[in-house]
Structure 1
């Protein structure tokens, strides 16, 4: 079960992805769809996501956080951010 905080994180990340990556919005991407395999986010896009996460959620990401699994989908990004906030 998600808490309100989890939902806020999800809505924030989804809004960022849809704004920053127009193809995601055009395809009305589901939260579990692969951002990487669908070619919506490349290596530069990943850097944009990292900067957003660090700024929006006041987190500092380490090198070991920068694995593709954490950036695979909106769902994975939400899980990752929530795990870092604990």
Structure 2
């Protein structure tokens, strides 16, 4: 896992009690997190990485895996 993925994984473990096994584990599709938790993750990404996400960023595909979230951070950072 990348450093970004590790930070997100630690947040998810601490906040939701979700231990993410791999960077490609499908979090939303497999029911590890729901839509409200996706919003919490989005707020974490904004705070932790200094991002300004817009509505277009808040789609399931951007939050379904650690890899997708890391790509979002890299693209917006």
Both structures adopt the same fold (TM-score exceeding 0.5): yes
Structure 1 gap ranges (5+): 1-5
1:57 equivalent in alignment to 2:37: no
Aligned to 2:36: 44
Q: CA deviation at 1:80?
A: 0.9
Q: Which runs of 5+ in 2 are unaligned?
A: none
Runs of 4+ in 1 over 3 A off after TM superposition: none
Q: Check if 1:29 corresponds to 2:21.
A: yes
Map of 1:84 onto structure 2:
76
Instruction: Return the TM-score normalized by structure 2.
Output: 0.88
Where does residue 7 of structure 1 map in the other structure? 2
From the CA coordinates, give the structure whose radius of gyration is larger: 1
* CA distance in structure 2 between the aligned counterparts of 1:43 and 1:68, rounded to whole angstroms: 8
**CA drift at 1:7:** 2.9
Q: CA RMSD in A?
A: 1.6
Q: How many residues align?
A: 77
